[in-house]
Chains A and B, each alone.
Chain A
Amino acid sequence: GNSVTQMEGPVTLSEEAFLTINCTYTATGYPSLFWYVQYPGEGLQLLLKATKADDKGSNKGFEATYRKETTSFHLEKGSVQVSDSAVYFCALVFSGGYNKLIFGAGTRLAVHP
């Protein structure tokens, strides 16, 4: 079946460190891929997306590249801030499926000054 696997957290970093959160997927087809972010006490917000192989999504200094050959969509940021502390979810969606998202388990990021 279709699924998303994320690296387990929590990920703890110092401010200005480099961030990578791994995400791999299993899919029978060619999904679109998303990263959502959930700040404390809030719902999920779309962070970035990619709709086809080799697309790069980017927003707020975060980037992720849709790698079909490795079925991956790793999230990266060159220099994290305390305000980036949140839970990050990787997700996929297929066409014709009422926009139903399949989520990974989420990865909690804690950034310390």
Chain B
Amino acid sequence: DVKVTQSSRYLVKRTGEKVFLECVQDMDHENMFWYRQDPGLGLRLIYFSYDVKMKEKGDIPEGYSVSREKKERFSLILESASTNQTSMYLCASSDPRGVYNQPQHFGDGTRLSIL
């Protein structure tokens, strides 16, 4: 089974801090994704990466950046945390090889609170 591991389940940070959320997958997947989940809004894509050092903006990239130095690891960075970034953050990975409709595999999420 694919395993996507997010480094923290719960995180509390202060306004203005630089925050790092880490995600590791163990199945050699090329694609990795960061979402935030808010009630009534579903999942919204922040950034995704289709290869090492490659990244693309999603629907809501403002205030975030990402890093992918190794294939298995995809980091989400909040450059200067703000209270409106309090949310659940979900990481996912997928294998684009073969048919295009391979499912994404998700981690358990990090619930981030910015005080």
Residues of A within 8 A of B (CB): 32, 34, 36, 41-46, 49, 51, 89, 93-101, 103-106
> What count of chain B residues pass the 8 Å CB interface test?
27
The verdict on B24 contacting chain A, using a C-beta distance below 8 Å, is no
Residues of A within 8 Å of B107, CB to CB, are: 43
Contacts of A104 in B (CB 8 A): 42
Find chain B residues with CB under 8 A from A46 CB. 103-105
- Measured CB to CB, the residues of B under 8 A from A are 4, 31, 33, 40-43, 45, 48, 50, 56, 58, 90, 92, 94, 96, 99-109
List residues of chain B with CB within 8 A of the CB of A103: 42-43
Main secondary structure of the interface of A (DSSP, over half): loop
Give A95 to B48 CA distance when docked, in angstroms: 16
Is the CB–CB distance between A49 and B103 below 8 Å?
yes
In contact, B101 and A49 (Cβ under 8 angstroms): yes
Contact of B42 (CB < 8 Å), options: A41, A45, A97, A106: A106
Output the least CB separation between B34 and chain A (Å): 12
Closest residue on chain B to residue A106 by CB atoms: B42
Closest to B58 in A: A100
Q: How far is the CB of B91 from chain A (nearest CB, A)?
A: 8
- A36 and B43 CA atoms in complex are apart in Å by 11
Contact (Cβ within 8 A) B106 A99: no
Q: B106 to A98, Cβ gap below 8 A?
A: no
Q: Are A94 and B106 in contact (CB under 8 A)?
A: no
Known: A51-B101, A104-B42. A99 touches B108 (CB 8 A): no
Answer whether A99 and B43 are a contact pair too, CB < 8 Å, given A34-B103, A44-B90, A45-B106: no
Report the minimum CB–CB distance from B5 to chain A (whole Å): 10
A48 nearest in chain B by CB position: B103
B108 touches A41 (CB 8 A): yes
